[in-house]
Amino acid sequence: MARVELIMPKMGESVSEATIISWSKKIGDMVELDETIIEIATDKVDSEVPSTHQGKLVEMLFGADDVVKVGEPFAIIETEAGENDITAVTKPTAVTVVSNPSEEVVTKAVETTTKPTSNSGDRFYSPLVRSMASQEKIAIAELDTIPGTGKDDRVTKSDMLVYLQNRGSAPKITVEIAPEVIATQTEQKAAQIATTSQNRVNIPNTGDTEIVEMDRMRKLISAHMTMSKQTSAHITSFVEADMTNVVNWRDSIKDDFKRREGQNITFTPIIIEAMAKAVKDFPMVNVSVDGTNIHIHKNVNIGMAAALPDGNLIVPVIKECQNKNLIGITKSVNDLATRARAGQLKPDDIQGGTITMTNVGTFGNLMGTPIINQPQVAILACGVIKKKPVV
């Protein structure tokens, strides 16, 4: 018998770790080659990880809600052939995306105000636990008091649920931070939120009410959008653009474009191309903010907010738009939109955005007030194109 380590596969250039959502097998179960063994989640998408070997599952190195780094073993399989030594599998594994993408997630570069739950000292908190703590307004000092039942005493989802059930009768924990410890305005704001004790909203009993828990993606969207509003001051400017020439041009070439390129050309790639060109004149809208540092991006990676059939949102990213013509952008837009609706985006497809556009006109809206995808600094919302009388 040989014992083989199953390794967390690489899921994209920007993804370095994943949270185990559930195990498809139990200790002692037989596992077939390429059979799903765990379901994982990044902050972007949920995926299935298949086994790289056939054999019997003899060890689970991590449990549900634990975070596993890419390249780290998460299970041990006992196979028929070979020696008794444990062998690490380095063969790359395909990860199958299965469900529920979310709104563009805030990168780790900006640890911000609604994340009083960032890791403190030597204690590690998974993205899921941090998200739950952020939603429940749990300060880092309070989070540090929660006993963990996971590996290395980590706090798991179950620990959080038990704590939240008993939290109502327990006093809230507040923290006093000396002013000299706080170096930046961002840290001051984070400390202020961390020290503020907030209760959940008391919803009146109106009789016949159904309570439905948010799904995981909706919770993430709620947490990330709230965090963005508390991170940066949002100022919305409304400008009308005469689209007559654009509409007439598209109507005149769309059939020929379809025959020649095999692609439908919508207004979205046209607007994205215009955004990429505008960034050349206004490079400071294509930046990210990390504390008091501004990162000016050379590549124009435009996120395209897309509504999904289940009502959730996802923001796939068209990379290096400054190097693509309209045909290339159109193909990228159509490919990403199709795979987004089918739940087939890869984690790397929704990483690395530098500026975002969202089309609220899809729903017939004249205008909208979009929320910035942190740590970006700008987002463009396009309203419906409609005929208007002009003088």
How large is the average pLDDT for residues 117-131?
61
Average pLDDT over all residues of the chain: 80
Cα distances from 22 to residues 31, 98, 101, 108, in angstroms, run: 15, 13, 17, 24
Tell if the pTM clears 0.85, that is, is over it. no
For residue 237, pLDDT beyond 70: yes
How large is the average pLDDT for residues 4-20?
81
Domains (range + CATH), the chain: 2-99 (2.40.50.100), 100-198+214-231 (no CATH), 238-382 (3.30.559.10)
296 in Cβ contact with 287 (< 8 Å): yes
For residue 294, pLDDT beyond 60: yes
How large is the average pLDDT for residues 68-74?
90
Cα–Cα distance for residue pair 338/266, rounded to 1 Å = 14
127 in Cβ contact with 19 (< 8 Å): yes
Residue 165: predicted pLDDT: 74
Residue 321: predicted pLDDT: 96
Residue 189: predicted pLDDT: 46
Cα–Cα distance for residue pair 187/181, rounded to 1 Å = 9
8 in Cβ contact with 18 (< 8 Å): yes
Q: Which residue has the higher pLDDT, 126 or 358?
A: 358
- Look-up: residue for tokens 């087939």? 344
SS3 164: helix
Q: Quick: pLDDT tens for 312-346.
A: 889 999 999 999 999 999 999 999 999 988 888 88
Q: Which residue has the higher pLDDT, 261 or 18?
A: 261
Q: Which residue has the higher pLDDT, 146 or 189?
A: 146
